[in-house]
Amino acid sequence: MQIDIQKLKSGNIRSLSKFITLIESKKAEHQKEAQELLNEILPLTGKSIRIGISGTPGVGKSTFIESLGLLLINKGLKVAVLAIDPSSPLSGGSLLGDKTRMEKLAQEKNAFIRPTPSSGNLGGVALKTREVMLACEAAGYDVVLIETVGVGQSEYDVANIVDLFTVLLLPGGGDELQGIKKGIIELCDNIVINKADGDNKQKAHDTMVQYKSALGVIKTDRKIGANVMMASALENKGVTEYWDLIEKIYQENQEKIQLKRKRQNQDWLKKLFNELLENRVRANPSLQSEWTKLNDNILNEVETPLSAANKLIHILFNN
């Protein structure tokens, strides 16, 4: 696949889209070419503000992101939105409807929206999202927004590829949020109580107070801020204040952010190494056969998982 790197560097949308298609391809030759090109553009990356935005379905992520994107474009910035789309576990297909849900933003020449299927990845973050983010940075995008599936504990993977991680919540979340509350408190830099309009204003205020109290007692070196605020993306209220806060945090914590990015690179090396090992196993017929046999042994309790794993490692590295 021919990619014009010079056009990519100048922000050509067609070149960027082709490059992302190459990155997301499962063909071995495409993956090799993509890695070579990524190494070539690496000096051009790292200049954007990377923000993850997560939340349960119906919380208004797309509306919030569109309002934020339009605000940033009006400030003269280029905005890339990488919207992780849940793949169907049966067909492998995905809705990929984010351009429809962000119609106004999609029409802006300084906005780039790329829906990406998560391909069943447990974290909710598509396997190649981090590399796609680098491609967008090389193409000159000042802000990269990553919208995630927002289910279960997927927030960890989101927080591990962005500078600042925001969770959107509904007013009066209550008991239905208990399952993910712990993850939110430990990982996020900002909580936005969205849909704080009409009859929801008092509920939103009460929810904000609740989470401010919770964030105040949790300490972790994984997050940079601990902020809670209200917004109404529908009425375009609180979005400007949100961005002002992001800029303030970003400017005051440059050293922490750079350290965080280095730590993220180390984490991703481990994660990708494990995934590449797993891919090698799947691509090796003798390993596949042995995997099935050893799996049966474990199920029948005639062998320990450690013994089985050692046998697979022995076959893998002797081949």
Q: 93 lies in which domain range? A: 46-252
The whole-model pTM stands at: 0.85
Given this model, what pLDDT does residue 60 score?
87
Tell me whether residue 121 is in a domain.
Answer: yes
* Boundary of a domain, candidates 252, 279, 309: 252
Nearest to 79 by CA among 224, 246, 261: 246
- Rg, C-alpha atoms of the chain: 21
For residue 111, being part of any structural domain is answered with yes
What rounded mean pLDDT belongs to the chain?
83
- Give the mean pLDDT of 50-68: 89
Question: The tokens 């300084």 sit on which residue?
Answer: 110
Looking at the structure, do residues 143 and 288 belong to the same domain, yes or no?
A: no
78-134 pLDDT, tens digit each: 999 998 765 544 334 344 455 567 889 999 999 999 987 665 554 446 568 889 999
The reply to whether 192 and 273 lie within a common domain is: no
Domain count, the chain: 3
Same domain, yes or no, for 12 and 160? no
Question: Are 291 and 203 part of one and the same domain?
Answer: no
Q: What is the pLDDT of residues 243-293, one digit of tens each?
A: 999 999 999 999 999 999 999 999 888 887 887 787 777 777 878 888 889
Whether residue 242 is contained in a domain is answered as yes
Residue at 219 is within a domain: yes
List the beta bridge partners of residue 49: 143
Residue 32 and residue 161 share a domain = no
Q: Are residues 67 and 158 in the same domain?
A: yes
Residue pair 166/53 in contact (Cβ under 8 Å)? The answer is: yes
Q: Is the pLDDT of residue 297 over 90?
A: yes
Shared-domain flag, residues 69 and 185: yes
| 92 and 212 housed in the same domain | yes
Residue 128 lies in a domain: yes
Same domain, 158 and 185: yes
**Domain identity same for 175 and 61:** yes
- Lowest average pLDDT, out of 43-57, 140-154, 160-174, goes to 140-154
